[in-house]
Amino acid sequence: MATVLIIGAGGVGRVVAHKCVMNNTTFDRIILASRTLKRCEEIQSELPDGAIEIATVDADNTAEVIDLIERVGANIVINVALPYQDLTIMDACIATKTPYLDTANYEHPDEAMFEYKEQWARDEAFKDAGIMGLLGSGFDPGATNVFCAYAQKHFFDEIHTIDILDCNAGDHGYAFATNFNPEINLREVSAKGRYWENGEWIETEPMEIMQVWDYPEVGPKDSYLLYHEEMESLVKHIKGLKRIRFFMTFGQSYLTHMKCLENVGMLGIKEVEHKGMKIVPMEFLKTLLPDPASLGPRTKGKTNIGIVAEGLKDGQKQKIYIYQVKDHEACYAEVKSQGVSYTTGVPAVIGAKLMVEGKWSGTGVFNMEQMDPDFFMEEMNAQGLPWNIVELEC
Ligand code: NDP
């Protein structure tokens, strides 16, 4: 039994709160804290009376987070605020010796760089505090890392290539909207592409490489090569790896809007002067776009995220596809959220559950593939994210 402190009451925070309540034999006290209390109140009102407590916190301020952790006596912190808050929340966990989990790697607000460097640099401090930090326990990163570890454990002696394939075939009816935080989403998608081959990172222009992949239960979709953060840890931890790439599907309408916004400077992250005021174009765009949390009741269709791994088993070539399909409307019916928030929030709760139960343990900072994948895979089936494995022709 544990007291869990969830920080961030956005789309993912809603799913985490709902799912922690469904797992209240593990999390017997649940506190949801965020910058804006109204967001927490909305989520609290969707749940049975007394199921969760709420609080405000500015997670950019380590002292405030320390105070909150101590006040509520948290046994674990689930960070589902924004990547900008990772370091301050990690530091608060170190100071209070409280286990930590997040779903996205640290990013500096003024620089669109996704990397684990600053979080990995806290490994010693986590060890000294005797606590575990679990990084990237969402879907991708998160479940995709676990799929790779599962493939490595059960299907291969050596994995030579991995393609991570992320398809969101949901339709929300808007000409343009993002399924999770617009700032984070658009920074990721408009950045240069990058993949890893034979020990080197190879950079591509944004959306330069495209392949059509036939996603089970969804159909063929244009899938574009992007840089994605889980590749940085997987190249360290998967044996024999020669190449890893990440592909995500985008519809033509999304790409046309994004290109146009980029061309006129609306994706800029540096301040500009407007009528005597300083504004950041990307932040202003976020204000104009639909709130991702509002997409829930409108989104129809499915997500399908998985990995294709190819390598050797007992000297024979082997190729497998592990994937998970989720229906947006089923997610909304269960937790009042669309599928992208659902597929992120559920793995966060599973990671926290395994940590609280001691099935995943250790001191220091860990990526998901460093843990035994079997527990996580079992929980995915039990918690609403059943997966499939198929063998493909090599
Ligand atoms: P949202 O923007 O919907 O929610 C973020 C929440 O964090 C908001 O409620 C916001 O508060 C709160 N917040 C922001 N800054 C602070 C702060 N300084 N102090 C306290 N609270 C703060 O984002 P999502 O729910 O879509 O995403 C949450 C996280 O999940 C992000 O880090 C995202 O990158 C990650 N993610 C990971 C995925 C994966 O598969 N691994 C996939 C999708 C998302 P306010 O309401 O006041 O703005």
Structure-token pair, residue 272: 């500009």
Residue 127 confidence (pLDDT) above 90: yes
User: Alpha helix locations (H) across 264-372?
Assistant: 281-288, 328-335, 339-356
Instruction: For ligand 1, atom 41, name the residue with the nearest CA.
Output: 138
Strands (E), the chain: 2-7, 27-34, 53-56, 76-79, 100-102, 132-135, 158-168, 193-197, 200-204, 210-215, 219-225, 243-249, 272-274, 277-279, 302-313, 316-327, 364-367, 387-391
Tens-digit pLDDT profile for residues 201-233: 999 999 999 999 999 999 999 999 999 999 999
Separation of alpha carbons 158 and 318, rounded Å? 10
Number of H helices, E strands in the chain: 14, 18
Q: Which of 15, 34, 77, 187 maximizes ligand 1 atoms within 8 Å of its Cβ, making it the mutation to test the pocket?
A: 34
End-to-end CA distance of the chain: 46
List pocket residues of ligand 1, CB cut-off 6 Å: 8-13, 34-36, 39, 57-60, 80-83, 85, 103-104, 138-142, 180-181, 184, 292-293, 340-341, 344
| Residue 109 pLDDT | 78
State percent of the chain over pLDDT 70: 100
Distance from residue 43's CA to the centre of ligand 1 (Å): 14
Per-residue confidence band for 354, with pLDDT thresholds at 50, 70 and 90: very high
Distance from residue 284's CA to the centre of ligand 1 (Å): 17
Which distant-in-sequence residues (6+ apart) come within 8 Å of 32 by Cβ?
6, 9, 13, 17, 40, 43, 44, 52, 53, 54, 55
**Residues β-bridged to residue 33:** 7, 55
Residue 110 confidence (pLDDT) above 80: no
288-300 exposure pattern, b = at least 16 Cβ within 10 A, e = fewer? ebeebbebbebbe
Separation of alpha carbons 385 and 365, rounded Å? 25
> Please, what is the average pLDDT of the chain?
95
Tens-digit pLDDT profile for residues 177-199: 988 788 888 888 888 999 999 99
Separation of alpha carbons 271 and 248, rounded Å? 29
For the CA of 60, the closest atom of ligand 1 is 18
Mean pLDDT throughout 83-106?
97
For the CA of 56, the closest atom of ligand 1 is 20
Residue 253 confidence (pLDDT) above 90: no
For the CA of 86, the closest atom of ligand 1 is 32
Distance from residue 80's CA to the centre of ligand 1 (Å): 5
Distance from residue 160's CA to the centre of ligand 1 (Å): 34
Residue 239 confidence (pLDDT) above 90: no
In this structure, the strands spanning 100-102 and 132-135 are parallel
| Residue 380 pLDDT | 98
Which distant-in-sequence residues (6+ apart) come within 8 Å of 275 by Cβ?
none
Q: pTM of the full predicted structure? A: 0.95
Q: Which of 35, 69, 226 maximizes ligand 1 atoms within 8 Å of its Cβ, making it the mutation to test the pocket?
A: 35
Instruction: For ligand 1, atom 42, name the residue with the nearest CA.
Output: 344
Per-residue confidence band for 24, with pLDDT thresholds at 50, 70 and 90: very high
For the CA of 143, the closest atom of ligand 1 is 40
Separation of alpha carbons 244 and 222, rounded Å? 19
Distance from residue 158's CA to the centre of ligand 1 (Å): 36
Structure-token pair, residue 354: 């395994």
State percent of the chain over pLDDT 90: 88
| Residue 98 pLDDT | 98
Residue 143 confidence (pLDDT) above 80: yes
Per-residue confidence band for 252, with pLDDT thresholds at 50, 70 and 90: confident
| Residue 189 pLDDT | 83
For the CA of 138, the closest atom of ligand 1 is 41
Distance from residue 254's CA to the centre of ligand 1 (Å): 22
Per-residue confidence band for 112, with pLDDT thresholds at 50, 70 and 90: low
Q: Which of 269-273, 310-314, 316-320 is predicted least confidently?
A: 269-273
Residue 54 confidence (pLDDT) above 90: yes
For the CA of 11, the closest atom of ligand 1 is 25
Q: Which of 180, 186, 285, 346 maximizes ligand 1 atoms within 8 Å of its Cβ, making it the mutation to test the pocket?
A: 180
Tens-digit pLDDT profile for residues 357-394: 999 999 999 999 999 999 999 999 999 999 999 999 99
More confident residue, 113 or 210: 210
